[in-house]
Amino acid sequence: MANNQQTEPRIGAVVKDLKGNRFGVVMATIGGLIQLRPVSGGLSWEVAPDGIEALSSRQELTVRLAALNAESRRGT
């Protein structure tokens, strides 16, 4: 993870993919890679542990709320 953090992110946490500049929910750690999926659901992708940034509780809440608002505007 960025910022020299050595701990793995917890399953279900929202993190920022630094290379893809997008947010994802941590689904698993397999083969040394972190599996993420979009906050609103969709296809997962993998990133190296040093390619993600942990979010503060406030940042995570903001990302989750933005995803819920986007879903409500789409009518899903």
Nearest Cα to Cα of residue 24 among 2, 53, 1, 65 = 53
pLDDT digits (tens, 9 = 90+) for 7-66: 788 999 999 999 999 999 999 999 999 999 999 999 999 999 999 999 999 999 999 999
CATH fold of 14-74 reads: SH3 type barrels. (2.30.30)
pTM exceeds 0.85: no
- Give the pLDDT mean for 63-73: 93
d(CA 30, CA 28): 6
Give domain limits for the chain: 14-74
Q: Max alpha carbon distance in the chain (Å)?
A: 40
d(CA 29, CA 48): 10
